[in-house]
Amino acid sequence: MPAPTPTTTPTSQPAQAFWCDPALPFVESRRASQSRACYKPHHHPSFSIGAVDGGHSVFTSGEAGPVRLSPGALVFVPAERVHACNPAPDSAWSYQMLHLDAGWLQALRAEYADPAAMANEPVRIVEDPARYQRFCQLNALLFSQADAADKEASLVEFIGDLDIQQGLHIQAPELPSRLAQRIRPALECLRANPCASVPLNQLADLAGMSRYQTIRAFRKLTGLAPHAWQLNQRINLAKQQLRGPDGIAAVAQQLGFADQAHFQRVFKAHTGVTPGCFRTKY
């Protein structure tokens, strides 16, 4: 039986391309050239590595930033960390973005690092021409027709080498453990019911706080207010469902969006592309 063919799919916008391969389900990549698309603050279930190829962008994460990024900058964003990276005002930029499955990365790192050292990992911003060139070479290899085993080996080596390098650290905000425990039932409620419209007063009751305190605590824990976090969760689920057979309208309905137009607006604000453009990857 022949090996599955990797997908390198130009979108309806020629300035963008995506890569994924069923033989390497733990990694996917994206390229964008001269993009003016802007993103809302969001988070991914994956570990992300971004590279600025041209132009300038502005990076924010949690309570830190903005940080102006120049060509050659690499940004390492842990899974679930709220962030946004957008072109500088009135300009365009070119970039690459690699997404790694968080579980795969954790298992890889456990082979050579103390798991305790990976707790509460910061965002890392690295500005080093040699490391940037190496990332570009890795991504070019992923987009090529090289053997999947060679791609995996290069990815593993890249991660291992880069893990020990230092860059600008943006620490995750400190959160008192007692506050985290109080807000966690509200967070778990939204995790368990991603498509339901859970009233703010219900979340406040679960946390044993006022609505104002709940919003503030939720933002400290996740980087987003409850409704914004839930929308982000729906978009992460939408990415999974768009890989299946259901139409875009059906996915929108299943995830609790008012209509397909609403779904498209929210999806593009979080991913930079429309649902139709996204699903052409698969």
Predicted pLDDT at 1: 36
| Residue 133 in this model has a pLDDT that exceeds 90 | yes
276 DSSP 8-state letter: H
Distance, CA of 132 to CA of 122 (rounded, Å) = 19
Residue type, 186: A
Read off the tokens for 84. 């946004």
% of the chain at pLDDT higher than 70 = 87
- DSSP-H helix ranges across 223-282: 226-241, 248-254, 260-271, 275-279
Q: What is the mean pLDDT of residues 47-61?
A: 94
**Cα angle for residues 43, 79, 164 (degrees, 5° grid):** 135
Distance, CA of 72 to CA of 93 (rounded, Å) = 12
| Residue 57 in this model has a pLDDT that exceeds 50 | yes
Burial class (CB in 10 A: 0-12, 13-18, 19+), 148: middle
Q: How confident is the model at residue 175 (pLDDT cuts 50, 70, 90)?
A: low
Least confident among 60-64, 214-218, 219-223: 60-64
Residue 173: name the closest of 81, 86, 75, 102 by CA. Answer: 81
**Helix/strand/coil for 251:** helix
* Mean pLDDT of all residues belonging to the chain: 86
- Structural domains present in the chain: 7-170 (2.60.120.810), 177-279 (1.10.10.60)
- β-partners of residue 83 are 42, 61
In our burial notation (b when 16+ CB lie closer than 10 A, e otherwise), range 43-77 reads bbebbbbbbbbebbbbbbbbebeebebebbbbbbb
Strands 123-127, 73-77: pairing is antiparallel
**Helix/strand/coil for 93:** strand
Q: How confident is the model at residue 124 (pLDDT cuts 50, 70, 90)?
A: confident
Span 94-123, pLDDT tens digits: 999 999 999 999 999 888 877 666 667 888
Size of the chain, expressed as the number of residues it contains: 282
Whole-angstrom Cα Rg for the chain: 19
Read off the tokens for 15. 């300035």
Q: How confident is the model at residue 49 (pLDDT cuts 50, 70, 90)?
A: very high
% of the chain at pLDDT higher than 90 = 49
Contact 224, 82 (CB under 8 A): yes
Contact 40, 110 (CB under 8 A): no
| Residue 167 in this model has a pLDDT that exceeds 60 | no
Q: What is the mean pLDDT of residues 264-277?
A: 88
Burial class (CB in 10 A: 0-12, 13-18, 19+), 226: buried
Residue 79: name the closest of 24, 140, 120 by CA. Answer: 120
Contact 254, 246 (CB under 8 A): yes
